[in-house]
Structure 1
Amino acid sequence: MRRISLWGLSTLAALVFLFSYRTSTGGTTAEVTVAATPAGEGQTFTGQTAQTREGDVQVVITVADGKITSVAVPVYPTGSRRHDEISARAVPELVEATLAAQGADIDSVSGATYTSGGYKQSLQSAIDSAGL
């Protein structure tokens, strides 16, 4: 009887420990910063929403003089700490790569394969709409 009691208490303690374990030390949710679109400059094109395994992604580009001048990502995977952390890291990298490449021929961000794929798909749709 004594062994059963000790085993039960040990199991209960282990469960409490596991359920209270935090995977991140940061207490805040990261925000995704995207390039701002200057008011009145260029023409805006919205890409189709790409549905990915991790969530929807949509890209909006502004084009002036045949060049992509800014990129906004109003829709991206969010809703959990994991998605927020991945998007906070991946979206700015994808935006920067787009502005540098002036197109959708950009590398995926490591660890954000689905988000990168959806981003590129929506970006290509916006570029096609712009006729670039």
Structure 2
Amino acid sequence: MRRALLAITGLAASTTALVVFKATPGTGQLAREEPAPPPPVAEGPQPSTSSKATKPKAGSSPKPNRSASGASRSDSGGTPKTPAASRAGTAAAQPTPSTVIGPVVTNEFGDVQVRISVVGDQIVNAAALRLPRGTAQSDQRSDQVDSRYSGAVGMVVERQSADLDTVSGATATSDAYRRSLQAAIDQAR
């Protein structure tokens, strides 16, 4: 009896700890940050701002010297050591996508409205803002249309047009989605 009580208590405590650990933001995944672009480098030698060498405080570890490019130099004055992200090169600034919202298209089951994100003349994302809801059947068919067409990897982005396959069983919703989408594409171009 005592062992059973200890086993149940231990199981409850470990489950609680696991739930708390999983629910704590930032503990389940590594933080993903974009590397900061290196500061601009001026041509030619850089003037020194101080003629005295700074002495580290007692109890602190010495920090490596930084060159104008932000790269660390070894204490022996050797070649600069650059972080791996810097060696890979910096990516060109990504253009900001513009958002275009199509009109509301009404069918016998409800309203459909589509939003697209466009960079240049490329559709990079599509999303249904409105889809017929209210019954289990409408919800299911709307979800099928949304999952097939929308998103950054949906059929809209894949085909770059409103020429989409009709979702079986959701013909009216598919047609309304395509009409709203085509109007949004026409506005964008």
Contact in 1 for aligned 2:126/2:149 (Cα 8 Å): no
What residue in structure 2 maps to residue 108 of structure 1? 166
TM-score scaled by length of structure 1: 0.67
SS at match of 2:96: coil
Contact in 1 for aligned 2:116/2:126 (Cα 8 Å): yes
Contact in 1 for aligned 2:118/2:125 (Cα 8 Å): yes
What residue in structure 1 maps to residue 180 of structure 2? 122
Q: Which has the larger radius of gyration?
A: 2
Query: How many Å separate the matches in 1 of 2:120 and 2:108?
Result: 36
Percent identical:
37
Contact in 1 for aligned 2:97/2:117 (Cα 8 Å): yes
TM-score scaled by length of structure 2: 0.47
Q: Displacement of 1:65 after TM fit?
A: 2.3
CA RMSD of aligned residues (A): 1.2
Which structure has more relative contact order (CA 8 Å, sep 6+)? It is 1
Contact in 2 for aligned 1:94/1:109 (Cα 8 Å): no
User: What is the correspondence of 1:75-86 to structure 2 with a 5 Å cutoff?
Assistant: 75-86=130-141
Q: Which amino acid aligns with 1:72?
A: A
What residue in structure 2 maps to residue 35 of structure 1? none
Aligned length: 92
Instruction: Please list the CA deviations of residues 88-128 of structure 1 after superposition, one character each: whole Å capped at 9, or x if unmatched.
Output: 12211022111110010111111100000000000000001
Give the unaligned 5+ runs of structure 2: 1-94
Q: Structure 1 residue runs of 4+, over 2 Å off?
A: none
What residue in structure 2 maps to residue 52 of structure 1? 107
Query: How many Å separate the matches in 2 of 1:104 and 1:88?
Result: 18
Instruction: Please list the CA deviations of residues 53-81 of structure 1 after superposition, one character each: whole Å capped at 9, or x if unmatched.
Output: 11110000000121001111110000111
User: What is the correspondence of 1:1-132 to structure 2 with a 5 Å cutoff?
Assistant: 41-95=96-150, 96-131=154-189
